[in-house]
Structure 1
Amino acid sequence: MANTPQSKKRARQNERRFDINKARRSRIRTFIRKVEEAIASGDSASAVAALRAAQPEIARGVTKGVIHKNTASRKISRLAARVKALSA
C-alpha cells in the first residue's frame, strides 16, 4: 500500500487514468465492431462510412497512448482491405 504522500497521489492518478483509458479502449472497440458488422452485413456504403468514423478514433487512441502506433496502423489497414474487398 502507498505510504508517502507522493505515492498516494500517484495511486489516485493511476486509478483516474485507468478509468479514462478503459473508456477510450472500449470506444475504439465499439467503432471497430461497427465496421466489422457492416462488412458482415455486406453493405458497402455503410462499411465505408463506419471505417471513416473509426479511423480518427483509432488514431486518437495512439495520441493518447492507449494503443501502440503500429497496432493502430495494422487495425486500420486490415479493416480498409476488407472494406475494399467488399466494394470490389
Structure 2
Amino acid sequence: MANNKSSKKRVLITERNRLENRTYKSAVRTLMKRCFIACTEYAEKPGNELKASVQESMNAAFSKIDKAVKRRVLHRNAGAHQKARLSRAVKQALDPA
C-alpha cells in the first residue's frame, strides 16, 4: 500500500484511468463485433437496409477507435490495425469478387 500522499494519489488516479481505459476497450470490441455481424448478415442476404447498417456500424467503430487512440487507450498502430481489419471485412462483404 502507498505510504505518502503523492503515491496514494497516484494509486487513485491509476485506478480511475484503468476503469476509463476498460470502458473504451470494451466499447471498441463491441462496435467491431457489431460491424462484423452486420457484414456477415449483408453477405448472406444483401439489401439496401443492411448495406446502410454495415456503413453505420463501420463509421461508429472507426470513430470509437480514433477516440481511443486520441486518449492513448490504444496505440496508434493498434488502432490502424483494427481499422484495416474492419475495412477489409466490409470491402469483402460489399464486393465479394
TM-score of the superposition, structure 1-length normalised?
0.92
Q: Is the 8 A contact 2:39 2:93 kept in 1?
A: yes
Any gaps of 5 or more consecutive residues in structure 1?
Answer: none
- Size of the alignment, in residue pairs? 88
- Following TM superposition, by how much is the alpha carbon of 1:86 offset from its aligned partner in structure 2, in angstroms? 1.1
1:26-65: per-residue Cα shift (whole Å, max 9, x none)?
A: 1111111110110121243321221011111101100101
2:2 matched residue in structure 1? 2
Q: Is the 8 A contact 1:2 1:11 kept in 2?
A: yes
How far does the alpha carbon of each residue in 1:8-41 deviate from its partner, in whole angstroms, 9 at most, with x for none? Answer: 0100111111111111111111111110110121
Partner of 1:41: 41
Instruction: Report the RMSD for the aligned CA atoms in angstroms.
Output: 1.1
- Write the mapping of 1:1-88 to structure 2, written as runs, cut at 5 A: 1-42=1-42, 43-88=50-95
4+ residue runs over 6 A deviation:
none
Which one scores higher on RCO, CA 8 angstroms, separation ≥ 6? Answer: 2
> Would you say the 8 A contact 1:44–1:86 is kept in 2?
no
- Of 13-22 and 38-47, more deviation after overlay is shown by 38-47
Contact 2:32–2:61, Cα closer than 8 Å, also in 1: yes
- For normalisation by structure 2, the TM-score amounts to 0.84
Distance of 1:31 and 1:73 partners within structure 2: 15
Q: Tell me the distance in 2 between the aligned counterparts of 1:18 and 1:51.
A: 26
Query: Kindly, what percent of the aligned residue pairs are identical?
Result: 31
Q: Is 35-44 or 68-77 further displaced after alignment?
A: 35-44
